[in-house]
Structure 1
Amino acid sequence: MDIHLDKKEQEIIDKVALAAQELRQESYLVGGFVRDKLLDRPTKDADIVTVGDGIELAKAVAERFHPKPEVNYFKNFGTAHIHTQKFDIEFVGARRESYRQHSRKPEVSPGTLEDDQNRRDFTINAMAISLNKKDFGKLLDPFNGQQHLQEKKIITPLEPGQTFSDDPLRMLRAIRFATQLDFSIEENTLASITENKERIRIISQERITEELNKIILSPKPSIGFDLLYKTGLLKIIFPKMVELSGAEFKEGIGHKDNFYHTLQVLDNIAATSNDLWLRWAAILHDIAKPATKRFEEGTGWTFHGHEVVGGRMVPKIFAQLKLPMNEKMRFVKKLVELHLRPISLTKENITDSAIRRLLFDAGEDFEALMLLCEADITSKNKKKVQRFLENFKMVRERSREVEEKDQIRSWQPPVDGLEIMQLFNLPPSKPVGILKDSLKDAILDGEIPNTRAAALEYLKQKAKELNIPGA
């Protein structure tokens, strides 16, 4: 066999081969498993193509395992799946496909291995390894996929215009593979993505976002976003990000290209964290700069309040991209809103109360916020970068000292809203909110100690100022 299998994989593949031989069905290892094995990348699943009934083969393979795994199958598509020994195996009958203009759902009919390889997206995914007795382990590579792996090239097996028109999601997949593997997209294939970009509109947002997230989780996501931008795909699938591009000059004063700045911040974060949502915060941290951009005489370009406006934009962007509207979105929104705060704390003579407020507002996400701030330093001036990093180190140290003393991150006011209502016989109302916020501010600003006795005394005084009956 042209690839190396570990003991577990060898046992599984042997079972598949024997089951296929008993059914007298030609069967092959195909696609990503073959590609990743040739690249010496880790694998956790395998695709099997059989010239015959894929579901029948899956059931026969399952019988060879103890305990017997469940066979999940989709009769309409002729596909089946089993999960065994922390390894997934997909089965499908070899097929040929034909597409209609306004759909990426093909008309499918049984076919040969050659038909199946012809319908693959890229040459590096069109290789197969025989599991048949006559030529077991032989690599079948009709489109020179192994050579393209060595050349680090993404090329379609057939004419790229046809490949991308048939299934426009393949345009995003080409860019995703180029990003994940650090490959280049062959010249004609890349040109065809630009020519066919409008076809991406027939793809569901969920599928687009799935590919986008895989690009974002790559070792160097900027490769993918640069390709998305240059092919015109990004303007269709994420126009707000394209608005960041370009540097404008007025009276000889320019601002940086915020698109490429954002890509640098994203790469910086990718070097320190695998957290998808922290990477999304990097993408969106300056998203409101186009909306807040102003030129002020004597000052130059300003983006006042872009963190606040950006925070408001996050839920809308998440909804449009079909990203989760839960704590993930709230985490990204929080980091976008707070990303300038640590910078303001790098100045001299910063009070403990300012540090307490940041710790309170960031809560458990303080470390993620600091990583984003450090990634946001993209100056080419090494001394300037070093100065900023030293300043952030000081903010971290001050925050550690204040946190040890005041336990602000997990802090809860000593008197809550319900008790305030009981103390002053108030229904849920605006005065309750005012008293609650005032107490929080007084403790965070160090006006009163963080004790129940001090809080009750403060609330009585504040209630008198607000003319609350019974105060």
Structure 2
Amino acid sequence: MNYKSYLDQIPIFAKIGACADALGVETYVIGGFVRDIILNRPSKDIDIVCVGSGIELAQEVAKAVGNVKVNVFKNFGTAMLKDGDWEVEFVGARKESYNRDSRKPIVEDGTLEDDQNRRDFTINAMAIRLNADHFGDLIDPFDGMGDIERKIIRTPLDPDITFSDDPLRMMRAVRFATQLNFDIDADTFFALSKNAERLSIISRERIADEMNKMILAKNPSYGFKLLFQSRLLHQFFPEMVALQGVEVKNGRKHKDNFYHTLQVLDNVAEMSDDLWLRWAAILHDIAKPPTKRFHPKAGWTFHGHEDKGARMVPAIFRKLKLPMNEKMKMVQKLVRLHLRPIPLVKEEITDSALRRLLFEAGEDLERLMMLCRADITSKNERKVTQYLKNFDIVEEKLRIVEENDQVRNFQPPVSGEDIMEYFDLKPSREVGLIKDAIKEAVLEGEIKNDKEEAFALMIKLGDEMGLKAAK
């Protein structure tokens, strides 16, 4: 099969081919770019392999393109340049061997065949020739084209060796299967399970990177099911594994919180591409196993799982090497608040309760409401419809209260500096007490959220504490 007509639409390929011919080296575009041509997926990353020096070829191509900058990585024998929106990486063909205690290979110069042998999956081992003779010809020694047609993830060589050599490839197998909605070949999947414990030599950062790409797929639950069934998930995320299972006591059972969580995740994925909202879905019930109790009358309960779950979030993020920043704090907030909107549908609910949710959710209110809607996973369609209508009511109540009181992104109408200046105080317990009392008064609706009423309350509170205005 020949892809000349496709390559002719992207001028840099002709320049790479001409430079390769001038240097007398076989040169190919390989890997993900070729796969994505066949799958008709957008791609901006081009991997070039040549039977020779990738760095030398990159430098010649840079001159042909117009003296663009070449980033050289001598330790890896690679070079990279940008041409418009295209990011092109060059490397010499190589063969690899591995030490069992490391995923870093021993690298030697090799042929195209050697280079294709070392690729992770058949769909990533296809190459297209760029030299003038046979320009555009597809070289597909492992029937990657057939595996694309069959929608199969399969390793080019023995999967047991492929995964033992570089265990990160096991995470990549699941990630590609999830992104492409492909099956994993039976022998390849068996090797995942057999080598699962080899993930211990992979850094958590690399695992998290693959997992995040999987979580951003259209149906991320598929990936988690593969991770669970292969026991890969057990190696790095036991808290999520603990959600799986149903316990029956006195004829009463609870739902399987693992599969419920996956349904919530898919529901969120239909509404938003926000990675961290999807993480909130993954973690919203994470504390149900440690809070599970059985009561003869009430049955199974998970009291306080939202608060305990919020306390678990930082440790999970730290262990998985996820960012310990405002993203983590947002996930923690959503986990803590995910049950709070439910009782707000009641007619007798006070504006104070609405104000407090607005204040606590702040700029994440829309994310919180999406999570709450996604958390409705009943098979009873009538019940689902009723719950969604209830959340419509809650959102309207919140909108009205916010319109009147403006407490969603609450900033105290009187600051600590205002209090210290008026009473000639240094930072102290009294300043904190007055600030907290003003905040509570606004949230309870005792005063409006404006400076004049807050200032009057500040003077009253100070007087009750025996504080005197500065002269």
Q: How high is the TM-score relative to the length of structure 2?
A: 0.96
Q: Aligned runs of 1:82-121 on 2, under 5 Å?
A: 82-121=81-120
Equivalent in the alignment of 1:242: 241
Structure 1 alignment gaps of length 5 or more: none
SS of residue paired to 2:345: coil
Quick one: structure 1 residues 368 and 59, their matched pair in 2 at CA, closer, same or farther if it must change by over 3 Å?
A: same
Measured after TM superposition, the shift of residue 435 of structure 1 is 1.8
Residue identity matched to 1:412: Q
Rounded Cα–Cα distance in structure 2 between residues aligned with 1:396 and 1:2: 56
Equivalent in the alignment of 2:204: 205
SS of residue paired to 1:88: strand
Quick one: structure 1 residues 417 and 9, their matched pair in 2 at CA, closer, same or farther if it must change by over 3 Å?
A: farther
Equivalent in the alignment of 2:311: 312
Contact 1:4 1:37 in 2 (8 A): no
Quick one: structure 1 residues 296 and 83, their matched pair in 2 at CA, closer, same or farther if it must change by over 3 Å?
A: same
Rounded Cα–Cα distance in structure 2 between residues aligned with 1:3 and 1:251: 66
Equivalent in the alignment of 1:58: 58
Contact 1:118 1:158 in 2 (8 A): yes
Q: Which moved more, 1:402-411 or 1:113-122?
A: 402-411
Q: Which moved more, 1:375-384 or 1:248-257?
A: 248-257
Residue identity matched to 2:300: W
Equivalent in the alignment of 1:415: 414
Contact 2:72 2:80 in 1 (8 A): yes
Equivalent in the alignment of 2:347: 348
Q: Map Cα deviations across residues 134-181 of structure 1 (whole Å, 9 max, x no partner).
A: 211111111011000000000100000000011000000000000000
Rounded Cα–Cα distance in structure 2 between residues aligned with 1:305 and 1:207: 33
Q: Which moved more, 1:246-255 or 1:265-274?
A: 246-255
Q: Aligned runs of 1:67-78 on 2, under 5 Å?
A: 68-78=67-77
SS of residue paired to 2:10: helix
Residue identity matched to 2:209: E
SS of residue paired to 1:77: coil
Residue identity matched to 2:320: L
Measured after TM superposition, the shift of residue 468 of structure 1 is 4.2
Residue identity matched to 1:62: A
Equivalent in the alignment of 1:404: 403
SS of residue paired to 1:97: strand
- 2:275 maps to 1:290: no
Equivalent in the alignment of 2:23: 23
Q: Map Cα deviations across residues 430-451 of structure 1 (whole Å, 9 max, x no partner).
A: 3322221111111111112223
Rounded Cα–Cα distance in structure 1 between residues aligned with 2:2 and 2:281: 42
Equivalent in the alignment of 2:36: 36
Q: Which moved more, 1:285-294 or 1:112-121?
A: 285-294
Quick one: structure 1 residues 220 and 4, their matched pair in 2 at CA, closer, same or farther if it must change by over 3 Å?
A: farther
- How many residue pairs are counted as aligned between the two chains? 469
Q: Map Cα deviations across residues 235-284 of structure 1 (whole Å, 9 max, x no partner).
A: 11111111111111111111111111111111111111111111111111
User: For the aligned residues, what is the CA RMSD?
Assistant: 1.6
Rounded Cα–Cα distance in structure 1 between residues aligned with 2:423 and 2:175: 60
Rounded Cα–Cα distance in structure 2 between residues aligned with 1:156 and 1:71: 33
Rounded Cα–Cα distance in structure 2 between residues aligned with 1:464 and 1:94: 81
Rounded Cα–Cα distance in structure 2 between residues aligned with 1:441 and 1:4: 70
Measured after TM superposition, the shift of residue 59 of structure 1 is 0.6
Contact 1:414 1:455 in 2 (8 A): yes
Rounded Cα–Cα distance in structure 1 between residues aligned with 2:456 and 2:132: 87
Q: Aligned runs of 1:329-344 on 2, under 5 Å?
A: 329-344=328-343
Quick one: structure 1 residues 8 and 444, their matched pair in 2 at CA, closer, same or farther if it must change by over 3 Å?
A: farther
Q: What is the percent sequence identity of the aligned residues?
A: 59
Structure 2 alignment gaps of length 5 or more: none
Q: Which moved more, 1:283-292 or 1:5-14?
A: 5-14
- 2:24 maps to 1:45: no
Measured after TM superposition, the shift of residue 9 of structure 1 is 5.2
Q: Map Cα deviations across residues 63-93 of structure 1 (whole Å, 9 max, x no partner).
A: 1113x22111111211111111111111110
Measured after TM superposition, the shift of residue 293 of structure 1 is 1.3
Contact 2:4 2:136 in 1 (8 A): no
Q: Which moved more, 1:115-124 or 1:7-16?
A: 7-16
Contact 2:7 2:13 in 1 (8 A): no
Q: Map Cα deviations across residues 386-414 of structure 1 (whole Å, 9 max, x no partner).
A: 01100111111111222222222233222
Measured after TM superposition, the shift of residue 45 of structure 1 is 1.2
Equivalent in the alignment of 2:12: 12
Rounded Cα–Cα distance in structure 2 between residues aligned with 1:289 and 1:463: 45
Rounded Cα–Cα distance in structure 2 between residues aligned with 1:429 and 1:293: 42
Quick one: structure 1 residues 9 and 79, their matched pair in 2 at CA, closer, same or farther if it must change by over 3 Å?
A: farther
Q: Which moved more, 1:298-307 or 1:372-381?
A: 298-307
Equivalent in the alignment of 2:216: 217
Equivalent in the alignment of 1:447: 446
Rounded Cα–Cα distance in structure 2 between residues aligned with 1:125 and 1:300: 51
Rounded Cα–Cα distance in structure 1 between residues aligned with 2:95 and 2:144: 20
Measured after TM superposition, the shift of residue 469 of structure 1 is 4.0
Measured after TM superposition, the shift of residue 427 of structure 1 is 3.1
Residue identity matched to 2:180: L
Measured after TM superposition, the shift of residue 5 of structure 1 is 6.5
Rounded Cα–Cα distance in structure 2 between residues aligned with 1:182 and 1:269: 18
SS of residue paired to 1:413: coil
SS of residue paired to 1:192: helix
- Of 445, 448, 470, 2:468 maps to 470
Q: Aligned runs of 1:58-207 on 2, under 5 Å?
A: 58-66=58-66, 68-207=67-206
Equivalent in the alignment of 2:262: 263
Residue identity matched to 1:97: E
Residue identity matched to 1:54: G
- 2:253 maps to 1:254: yes
Q: How high is the TM-score relative to the length of structure 1?
A: 0.96
Residue identity matched to 1:52: G
Rounded Cα–Cα distance in structure 2 between residues aligned with 1:234 and 1:303: 24
Residue identity matched to 1:470: K
Residue identity matched to 1:29: V
Q: Which moved more, 1:437-446 or 1:423-432?
A: 423-432
Rounded Cα–Cα distance in structure 1 between residues aligned with 2:122 and 2:74: 28
Quick one: structure 1 residues 8 and 265, their matched pair in 2 at CA, closer, same or farther if it must change by over 3 Å?
A: farther
Quick one: structure 1 residues 408 and 253, their matched pair in 2 at CA, closer, same or farther if it must change by over 3 Å?
A: same
Rounded Cα–Cα distance in structure 2 between residues aligned with 1:214 and 1:4: 31
Rounded Cα–Cα distance in structure 1 between residues aligned with 2:424 and 2:201: 59
Contact 1:342 1:395 in 2 (8 A): yes
Equivalent in the alignment of 2:2: 2
Residue identity matched to 1:429: S
